[in-house]
Amino acid sequence: MTQRNDGVLSPGRVCADYCGAMAQKSPAERAATIAAGYAFDGSSLDLGAALVDGEVFPDARVGLPLQMMNRHGLVAGATGTGKTITLQVMAEQLSEAGVPTFLADIKGDLTGLSTAGTGSPKLLERTASVGMDWEPRTYPVDYLCLGGDGTGVPVRATLSSFGPLLLARVLGLNETQESSLLLVFHYADKKDLELDDLKDLRAVITHLTSDAGKADLAELGGLNKATAGVILRNLVTLETQGGDRFFGAPEFDSAELLRTADDGRGVISCLELPTLLQQPLLFSTFLMWLLADLFEELPEVGDADKPKLVFFLDEAHLLFKDASKAFMDSITTTVRLIRSKGVGVFFVTQTPQDVPAEVLGQLANRVQHALRAFTPADAKALRATASTFPLSDYDLEEAITAAGTGEAIITVMNEKGAPTPVAWTRMFSPRSHMGASAADVVDEVVAASPLLEAYGTAEDRESAFEKLAADKARAGAPERPDDSRRRPESTGRAASRPAPRGTGSRPASRTNSQENPMVDAAVKVAGILGKEIVRGLFGTRRRRR
């Protein structure tokens, strides 16, 4: 290897010398090197077989260690290169290993998971060429949709739980307006005003800017009527776009994503949003809420033989576009720490450049489908992508542009924490149907879902809107001295968050507390602490347990 005049090894020359040495090996020898690099001791996903000089080597199996999937990953590639099929293959094998999976199904193509594949001659020829023992199968799937927008069990979140930071992102607020929204949420938390939906938040802001709320507004500080007006207008815009359907009760419990089927296979949860183009920011931010909720609720597990959940975050570029510093810091921290809770996150997008460097640096597993370079900017992005891979005997710039549909350039983290050899891979095929299932099949799966009873019907509980309206009514009409009517107590997160299926609750005995004043006092104190709200990284809501 040569040195520059300053005595430092030239990176370009190191790569050239390495590639030159590897080029002297035969394709079979290079395939053997790849096979050795992917020979794992524990369980792994089979992704495909290595391609060397255009020849497929079925014995050079390319995979991903199951225990390393919580080190996160990236699935990237241009439209039409096979990213969705890759997700389907990975979800199938994770399910068979007993690992639940969450998928954002943008186009509805992943509904094919509930229909067995068809062994056409072309498919069987391809699977045989990569050494895959293919047979048709179906998988346990739950179809979800945001607020009933699509086919599936409705997924909702209360605004109190969603939090001010994520909501500011959805509303497109600047940092000053975001800080004002934080104050509004702080006021609602302090006054025990549940923010279930958009009308609750409008009611709180309207109260603070009214004559009746002047004292509360002055106590808050930092919130003026002009800023409140901007927030209110943006709330109205979100509502007219149909965003109000996504907020409310009953709130979806993210623990539902961790379920396994009766036969031990992991349940695959597919979230659909057919109107993504109209509400891209809301969709991506809602996915981040699910991930943040898991992060706040799950206990630490450290390193395990397999993850508790693998979360595929599709259209990842939408999450980072024009994000505030606070939002980016929260994403980075969540991704860095959630792996210790047994959750692996895979970002799915077109190019690695869509993911900020501070997040990209934490992704240990790479599945890079083909990229196209039509402009100078595309060519620059291609070179940057190729430079992030480990040293390889492939010409990576050529490989990334020349890879066919259903092929990818792969490197993952092995069980010792080191990167595997870069492998141009012909990917395995799904065992389920490639493409959307028939509508009646999807409807049948949704109707049989154990989640439908808990989340299928929206609830309008007593919350901030009703409480403030009642306060206003009382202020206008003096209460009679003998009036003993009581309003029902507000329902908290325990009511908005049903217990995961298969669990139950037992009502507490009131008799014992009546007989023991100390127990009764303890119950009252516990009730007070139960109303104290703790907020996590994104301002998402937690209750002290």
Q: pTM higher than 0.85 for the full model? A: no
Residue corresponding to tokens 């306060």 = 471
**Out of 106-110, 212-216, 281-285, 538-542, which region has the weakest mean confidence (pLDDT)?**
538-542
Confidence of residue 402 (pLDDT cuts 50, 70, 90): very high
Is pLDDT of 225 > 70? Answer: yes
Pairing of strands 407-411, 153-155: unpaired
Is pLDDT of 523 > 50? Answer: no
**Domain presence at residue 13:** no
341/391 same-domain check: yes
CA distance 164 to 184: 9
Closest CA to 543 of 150, 532, 364: 532
What are the residue ranges of helices labelled H in 61-131? 83-96, 121-129
**Domain presence at residue 507:** no
93, amino acid identity:
Q
212/257 same-domain check: no
206/181 same-domain check: yes
Three-state DSSP at 260 gives strand
Indicate which CATH number applies to the domain containing 262: 3.40.50.300
**Domain presence at residue 516:** no
Pairing of strands 44-52, 423-427: antiparallel
171/285 same-domain check: no
Strand partners, 409: 368, 424
Single out the residue in 387, 421, 454 at which a domain terminates: 454
| pLDDT of the residue at 1 | 39
User: Which strands form 365-368's sheet, in the order they lie side by side?
Assistant: 55-65, 44-52, 423-427, 407-411, 365-368, 73-76, 343-349, 309-313, 101-105, 268-272, 141-146, 153-155
| pLDDT of the residue at 76 | 94
Is pLDDT of 504 > 80? Answer: no
181/262 same-domain check: no
**Domain presence at residue 133:** yes
**Domain presence at residue 491:** no
| pLDDT of the residue at 483 | 41
Confidence of residue 542 (pLDDT cuts 50, 70, 90): low
Q: Which domain holds residue 403?
A: 38-51+60-152+250-454
Pairing of strands 153-155, 141-146: parallel
**Domain presence at residue 483:** no
Q: What element of type H or E holds 142?
A: strand 141-146
Q: Which residues of 475-507 are buried (b: 16+ CB within 10 A; e: fewer)?
A: eeeeeeeeeeeeeeebbbbeebbbebeeeeeee
280/409 same-domain check: yes
Q: Are 228 and 208 in contact (CB under 8 A)?
A: yes
DSSP structural state of residue 509: P
DSSP structural state of residue 153: E
CA distance 297 to 258: 12
- Alpha-carbon dihedral 104, 99, 303, 367, rounded to 10 degrees: -50
370/228 same-domain check: no
pLDDT in tens, 136-159: 999 999 999 988 777 899 999 999
**Out of 224-228, 413-417, 436-440, 487-491, which region has the weakest mean confidence (pLDDT)?**
487-491
169/109 same-domain check: no
Is pLDDT of 195 > 60? Answer: yes
For residue 435, give every residue at least 6 positions away whose Cβ sits within 8 Å of its Cβ, in sequence order, or none.
Answer: 109, 112
351/432 same-domain check: yes
254/133 same-domain check: yes
Q: Report the 3 state secondary structure along 307-347.
A: CCEEEEECCCHHHHCCCCHHHHHHHHHHHHHHHHHCEEEEE
| pLDDT of the residue at 524 | 35
Domain count within the chain? 2
186/280 same-domain check: no
**Domain presence at residue 518:** no
| pLDDT of the residue at 478 | 53
Single out the residue in 431, 454, 477 at which a domain terminates: 454
113/139 same-domain check: yes
Q: Are 101 and 91 in contact (CB under 8 A)?
A: yes
CA distance 360 to 106: 23
**Domain presence at residue 294:** yes
Single out the residue in 388, 423, 454 at which a domain terminates: 454
- Helix-strand-coil split of the chain, %, nearest 5: 45, 15, 40
Confidence of residue 9 (pLDDT cuts 50, 70, 90): very low
